[in-house]
Amino acid sequence: MGSTQPPHTPQPVLAGTSRAAVFLVFTVDHGGADAARELLGDLSGLVRAVGFRLPDDRLSCVAGIGSLAWDRLFDGPRPADLHPFEPLQGARHRAPSTPGDLLFHIRARHTDLCFELAAQITRRLTGHARIVDETHGFSYFDQRDLLGFVDGTENPEGTRAGQAAFVGEEDAAFAGGSYAIVQKYLHNLPQWDALPAEEQERVVGRTKADDIELPEDTQPADSHVALNKVEDADGEEQPIVRANMPFGSLARAEYGTYFIGYCRTPAVTEQMLRNMFLGAGDATHDRILEFSTATTGSLFYVPTTEFLDDPPAPSAPSAATSPAPVVTQAVDTSLGIGSLELPAVNTTSPKAF
C-alpha cells in the first residue's frame, strides 16, 4: 500500500565534515520579503550552478528561516517548535539572543566554492536584506577546534543521525525539516594556554591528544562533556548533529568556534545550553565558559527542499510589507564548542553539551 504522504527530501544537513564553510545570517528589510522568497526558491539551482564547476568539491548549502521572518514570508501554518532564540543569564555567564531572519550554512572542500555561492546569495539579497553576521570557518588539522581538542566526536551516524536531526510525524506538515541553533564563541587563548593540559582535559571532559572521554568516575560534573549529555524521560541520551567550525582573525586577535547544532526539536539543544549557562546538578555552569564567550545566538527552522522549491503562498500584503520587527541585540558573554549530545527533555537531571 503506497504512502499518501508527500516526499520529504531534507536539505543537506548531514553533509558531513568539510574543509571550508561560510555562515551567513541576514535580517530581511522592510519590503524585502518577496526577494527573500524568490532567492529561497532559486537556491537549489544556484548551488547546482556553482557546484558544477568543481563537482568533486561537494558544495552544499542549508537554508534556515527565523521565527520573526516566517510570518512575513509565508502564509499558512508554521513549524510547531519555531520560536526566537531564548537568551540565558546565568550567575556568571550569558547566552545572548541576536537577530537572524535567514541562515545560509555553506560547505565545500575548498573556500573558493563557498565564497562564490555566498557572493551569489548576497547579490540577490542586496537592497532587500542585510548581513548581520558573516563567518568563514575552516577545518583545523584533524577536526580540532582552536582550543586544541577534537570537536564533533559524539555526532550520531547513519540512521541515528537522521532520527536525531529531522522532524518526524510529530509535526507532519513539516516532517523532513530540522531546527538549527547557531552561536559564535570567542576564546581567551592566552588564559586557556596558561592552563596545564591535564586541567584542560578536566574542563572539556576528554583527553587532548587521543580524544578519549574521561571515565565516569573521574569526569568532573562541570565539564563540557558532562553538561552536554541530555536524556529523555526514559534515560536515553538525545543526540544532536553538530557541524562546528573554527574561525579567527589574527589582526583582531580573534579565535573562535562557530557552533551549529541541528536537531528534530530545539528542546534538546536548548536543554544543553541551560545546563551550560545555568548549571545542572553539582555544576553551577560549564567550566569551558570561563575561557569562551558566546557573542551571538539564533534559532532557525530548516525546511525540506520541496518546501523551498515550491513554497506556500506569500503572506498577506499587510504582513509582508509591514516593517521588520525590531529585535533587541544583546551583547555577548559565554562559550561553546561542539562535540557531544543533547537530550530531549529531562529537565530534572540535565547534562549538557
d(Cα 49, Cα 54) in Å, to the nearest integer? 10
Asked if residue 342 lies in contact with residue 272, where contact means CB atoms within 8 angstroms, the answer is yes
- Phi, psi dihedral angles at 121 (to 5 degrees): -65, -45
Annotated catalytic residue, options 71, 81, 145, 151: 151
Is residue 101 annotated as a catalytic residue, yes or no?
no
Residues belonging to the active site: 151
